[in-house]
Chain A
Amino acid sequence: MTGLILRRLAQLPIILLVIYTVTLTLAWSIPGNPLENPEGRRPSPEVAEQMLRQYDLDSYPRFYVTYLDRVTGLRYVRDRMGGEIAERRDAAEAAGFDAPEQPVFDFGPSLQYDDWTVNEIIAGSLPVSITLGGVAIVIATIIGVAAGVVGAVKPNSAADFATLVIALVGISLPSFVIGTVLLMVFAVWVPLLPVSEWGSARALVLPSVTLSLPFAAYIARLTRFGMIETLASDYVRTARAKGASELTVLVKHALPNAFLPVLSYLGPATAFAMTGSFVVEKVFNIPGIGQHFVAAVQNKDLFLIMGVVLVFAGLLVVFNLAVDVLYRFVDPRVG
């Protein structure tokens, strides 16, 4: 187990370097000048040149090296050893201000949003996506398991049929349709919940439900098949024979085993919910990280593209590792 974790962790920098190189090369080839307001006055050529020079955007190799220096934290270490950071802090203190923060892993400034660093943008939006994705998975699990159990108890009944149909709809309907319908019903026609705000539990309801539905549908199907299989097994028959109540049989004996496939599905599902909520974020105007994927590429905001991709890559590698570890933990037959 420890060996596996160490091996995976050692691979991490190599994976990230490959991703860094590929992403940068692709992002660099997007046409256009990222520093130019596409709808406004064009700066004079001298100014445009100075702007590019300022960010090393006039040379791919120089950018590659200086940016790598930045994101890996090497520059921070150098500045720290050289005393530059302390010097700036002292100067700011002398003038009565807080010194601008310098992060260790510096993803640089956003080119599109001049007043923000990429670190700040990610720090502000990643927790939002993680919250939304996490809540959605919790909801999905509750709805999915409940629906699956109901279906399994009376297979081929009306209730079972209904949950299957709903599950099918949940999987096939795109979330922008579900989201818009929920928004119209619960925020416009019956104004119970807010339209577009973020920051309260109420505001979290519609988007997390929307995001949870496809996952809930899949979990329902997994639970149903798992339960049907388990309920037919010998040990369940034994439990019933011993006179255990139906509820005890279902919840205490059958469900834990039927839940195993759901658990293994939850790993990748959580990663996907936290990172793939772009459409839901858009529909509900949620300040998550998904929006930056598209906008950063459209704006050729190199620093933001790199920052978001690297953070995601890092997260996914960690999630995959966690799932692998979890498999071995839950099911001793694996590994």
Chain B
Amino acid sequence: MIRVSVVIALLAALLIALGSGSSVPRADLVVYNGQEPTTLDPQRLSWIPDMRVARVVYEPLVQNDVLDWNATIVPAAAETWTVSEDGLTYTFTIRPDARWTNGEPVTSEHFRYAWRRGMLPDIASDYAAMFRYVRGADAFYEWRASQLAAIERGDSPYADGLELWQATLERFDNTVGLRAPDERTFVVELREPVPYFLDLCAFAVFAPVYPPLVDQYETPDVRTGRLNRRPGWTRPPAIVSNGAFAVTDWKFKRGLRLEQNPHYWNRGSLNVRTIDLPSIGDPSAAVLAFRTGAVDLMVEVAAPYRGEIVRDKLGFRADHASEVERLRARGLDTYAIDASLPDDPRNRAHIIPAFGTYFWNFNCSETLTDGRPNPFSDSRVRRAFALVIDKKSIADQVRRLGEPTADVLIPPGSIGGYAGPEGLPNIGDAATEAERATIVARARALLADAGYPEPGAFPITVELVFNKDSGHDLIAQIIAKNWQEHLGVPVSLAQKELKVYREDLKNHAFVTSRAGWFGDYADPTTFLDIMQTGDGNNDRNFSNEKYDALLTRARTTTDPRERLSVLAEAERMLVEEELPMVPIFHYVSMYMFDPAKITGMSEHPRTKQNLFLIDVLGDGVGADLPRPMKPRETGAMGDEAGGSGG
């Protein structure tokens, strides 16, 4: 028996030795990023948490100053740039001291290579459409896709895949408007003026990659001609990147360690030496890790915890109401106010408006998927249904996250210089029963007008489709009750798995459904494009000639002010007349951090956080000075009207 015990003891020692690695000391800053990055390949980015990491690791030509209320474009890898008078040619000058993590200079050819990847069907970038503003990119993509198809059918003019690849490179050089006349000059020719093009250039998808490395992992297949992509180059030890921080360790589902890029040109501006991005799979474990101090900053908080956290925060703000008012009057912004209040665990949560809107879709197709005529193809019906949704109840009683109700699609104040429409009222706005009755009467009149004077005889059961989780069921129940009670139409709820729900929406196989949208860049089109006829994200199948014409007009309008007013008219059509969807509320972002300790976080409703701006106060590393939002310019957009919730 003693022998058995010895064996067991040895086994235990061995297993423990196996399980224990050398423990690395805690980083200066530990950030919970919500989920493990799915990729750090710039051109393959799709998820917001991935982009948050990618912006720290890679540096695009320019970037947004997220601590400025206008999110101004400032130099990054490019030192200067010029735009031709017709707005079609952008010439960037790469800074001489821009360096990769291996010390090699960042050149214009590297950007050209990365953008070519964005234009290749083989890479299948989610954001391929954004590269199509470059002259010739569209035709290049189509040509390559058709050649790949030809090789598969066996009627390709090229002998094999390698030959096709050579031809592809030549075609790219000759037809696509990207040039690198010297190492530091990068010239981009657009097919049409894109007023927000610099904002796109600040998008992580437009960041450069290091070609000598990527070439090892992406090789054309002799047989199919496609690039064979092998993973591995986005991780240590292989990764070569050009951002403020370098990835020095990445263990799958355990987390990433970032350290300052020793060759970064602006290293003096960095205020932490190391950043840890632990992967915490369980949302409650993440909250626990924050509460025990293992995590300094949470940029995502799981839904089940949000309600309680918001309630605490609102209670805290209420306890210090007069102080908050005094600080606000002095012109302080949300985080600065929080930092001035007494220390309190309830004050670790920060709620700021986000660049996204929750809305309810109507299927606008002439017929439903089962062939029956669709009453929602009539905008009067859609308007009637929109009027009787009690948005206030949804935001205040179901969500309870301090999200402002939405009457428009584009979050107010999120895009500098853009003044959106008012939107329709809804029964939740009514101060009195009489006002409420007036709105309901208006909705019923619209229904009668559309040919449904007897609501009980509405031709279809109005189905509300939503995906399970995240409390969409509660919202659907309120909306269904509103419609049933005020319009008297039959309703039914349909809860689906996320993937099924996504497929149904894509195929327009629904009557009404929940939906939401986050903008990508600082222009109204980032929201408005998805309502265009035939757009890949037009789940509503909304098609309106006048609306499409407005967007086309905006594309050709060179005066920025006039262009924005054309787009405002397009949004007005959407939210006041056509209602292919009903905006319900604008999302908010929730962050958890000690405001007296962490600084450099953005409050801009674009919700872009640049983690390389963060300073941990009092740690003796970096400037250790508060980095608040820059003062607002007088008359600038983005007032507290967005509702800071705090």
Footprint of B on A, CB under 8 Å?
A: 30-33, 35-48, 50-51, 53-54, 88, 91-92, 95-101, 109-110, 112-117, 120-121, 124-125, 127-128, 131-132, 134-135, 138, 141-142, 183, 187-188, 191, 194-201, 204, 251-252, 255-256, 259, 282-285, 287, 291, 300
Contact = CB atoms under 8 A, between A and B. Distances in A.
A101 B39 CA distance: 18
Given A44-B129, A91-B216, A114-B44, A30 B39 contact: no
B30 to A, nearest CB: 11
10 contacts: A41-B127, A43-B126, A97-B238, A100-B216, A113-B252, A115-B38, A117-B232, A120-B231, A183-B288, A187-B292
Interface in B2-21: 4, 8, 11-12, 15-16, 18-21
A93 to B, nearest CB: 10
Contacts of B20: 199-201, 204
Contacts of B19: 128, 131-132, 135, 198-199, 201, 204
Contacts of A121: 252
Contact of A124 (B233, B251, B518): B251
Contacts of B127: 41
Interface string B528-541: 00000000110000
A32 B46 contact: no
B232 A101 contact: yes
B216 A115 contact: no
B47 A287 contact: no
B253 A114 contact: no
Contact of A188 (B48, B129, B292): B292
B498 interface: yes
B8 A115 contact: no
Contact of A114 (B8, B39, B213, B280): B39
B327 to A, nearest CB: 34
A134 B282 contact: no
Contacts of A256: 1
Contacts of B627: none
A30 B289 CA distance: 34
Contacts, number: 203
A97 B46 CA distance: 28
Given A31-B499, A195-B285, A199-B20, A115 B40 contact: yes
Contacts of B11: 134, 138
Given A42-B506, A115-B231, A201 B285 contact: no
A46 B252 contact: no
Interface stretch (B117-125, B259-267, B302-310, B397-405): B117-125
Interface in B221-247: 226, 229-235, 237-238
Interface string B485-527: 0000000000001111011001000000000001010000000
Contacts of A32: 497-500, 502-503
B196 interface: no
B216 A127 contact: no
Contact of A47 (B126, B226, B498): B126
Given A142-B8, A196-B288, A285-B281, A41 B126 contact: yes
Given A255-B1, A256-B1, A131 B252 contact: no
B213 A97 contact: yes
Contacts of B252: 113, 116, 120-121, 124-125, 287
B59 interface: no
Contacts of B128: 43-44, 47
A43 B536 contact: yes
Contacts of B537: 41-42
Contact of A135 (B16, B278, B281, B282): B16
Residue in B148, B216, B280, B291 whose Cβ sees the most chain A Cβ within 10 Å: B216
